[in-house]
Amino acid sequence: MNTRIKKKLIVSRGSAKYRCLSCGTVENMGRRKYCSIECRQKLRYHLNLRTGLLRALNTRYATFYFTDSVIILDVLPWGSGELFSYLYPRTQGRKPVEDYCTLSNILGNAWWAERNRTNKRYRATQFLLEKAETKNADSAPIRPLEVKEPTRLAKSLTFLKLKKADLNSPQLQRKIKSAYRKQAMQHHPDLGGDANAFRKLHEAYEQIIKWSENPTFIRRRGFPDKWFYDGGTNRWVQPAPRWVKL
C-alpha cells in the first residue's frame, strides 16, 4: 500500500468517527455507527453473498473497510505469513457495497478465467494472489481480537442506572444493591411510584444479582472499524461496538 493511500486511511479513521460503517454517510449520524439497520443489513448480505471468492483464495481471515477514495479488502490465507490487499477506487455517487460487488466480480471472473485456462484451482488462486499488494502478516492488523460481552443485561443495566464498566467491579453486588435501593425510592408504589415500573426494576435487580453470582459472556471477535470475515464460519461480522475494549 503506497504512502498516499496510507495517509488517506489515517485521515479517514480519524475524521470518520461517526461515519456510517456501511455506506459512509456522515449526515444525521450523531453518535451512531450506522445510518439505518437496512443499510447495515444490505452490506452484510452482499458480503456474505460473495464469500465464494474468499473460499477460492483459501482465506482464514479477511477485513473490509473503506475511505473516501478507496475500498480495501485484506486477505490472510490459511498457513500464509503474508497479508494480501486489494484496493479498488471509489466511484462517485456509488456506495461502498456497490464498489465491493464490482471488485468481487472482477476478481471472481479473473479466478475462473485462469481456472479454465489451466484446469487447476491452486494456479487460479496463486494467479489472483499475485495481483494483490502484500506485506508481512505479523505487522498487519488482520488477526481479530476477542472481546467478551455480558449476556442479555442491557435492559437491566438501564433500569438500575448502572454502566457496563460496573460489571467488572470487585464490589459488584454492593453496587447493584445500592443502585436498586436508590431506584426503589423513586418507583416503589408505597412511595408514590408506578407499580409496573417497580416490578420491572425488581426483575432487573434479580437478573443482575443472579448474573453476578455466575457471570456468563458472549465471546466475539472482530474490529471496531472494519467488517471481519472468519474462514472457519464462512461469515462476515459487523464491526464491534465502540464501547468494547479490544
pLDDT band with cut points at 50, 70 and 90 for residue 159: confident
Which of 119-128, 136-145, 179-188, 199-208 is modeled with the greatest confidence? 119-128
Burial (0-12, 13-18, 19+ Cβ within 10 Å), 229: buried
Residue 208: closest CA among 231, 180, 234, 235: 180
pLDDT at 58: 94
Residue boundaries of the structural domains of the chain: 3-146+222-237, 152-215
Q: 133: helix, coil or strand?
A: strand
pLDDT at 149: 61
Q: What is the DSSP letter of 214?
A: S
The residue with greater pLDDT, 29 or 220, is 29
pLDDT band with cut points at 50, 70 and 90 for residue 10: very low
pLDDT at 36: 87
Q: pLDDT tens digits, residue range 209-231?
A: 888 888 876 665 667 788 989 89
pLDDT band with cut points at 50, 70 and 90 for residue 37: confident
pLDDT band with cut points at 50, 70 and 90 for residue 15: very low
Task: Compute the average pLDDT of residues 54-66.
Answer: 93
Least confident of 14-28, 72-86, 94-108, 207-221: 14-28
- Cα separation, 41 vs 227, in Å, equals 12
pLDDT at 12: 40
Strands (E), the chain: 59-66, 70-77, 82-89, 133-136, 145-150, 217-222, 227-230, 235-237
Q: Which helix (H) or strand (E) holds 47?
A: helix 37-49
Which of 33-47, 97-111, 184-198 is modeled with the greatest confidence? 97-111
What share of the chain in percent tops pLDDT 70?
82
Architecture of the domain whose range is 152-215: Orthogonal Bundle (1.10)
Residue 161: closest CA among 184, 178, 179: 179
> In sequence order, what are the beta bridge partners of 77?
59
- Cα separation, 40 vs 22, in Å, equals 5
- Cα separation, 49 vs 167, in Å, equals 38
Which residue is associated with the grid cell 456509488? 94
The residue with greater pLDDT, 55 or 156, is 55
Residue type (1 letter), 204: A
**Residue 123: is its pLDDT beyond 90?**
yes
Residues ≥6 apart with Cβ < 8 Å to 94: none
Q: pLDDT tens digits, residue range 95-114?
A: 999 999 999 999 999 999 99
Q: What is the mean pLDDT of the chain?
A: 83
**Residue 5: is its pLDDT beyond 50?**
no
pTM of the model: 0.64
Q: What is the DSSP letter of 192?
A: T
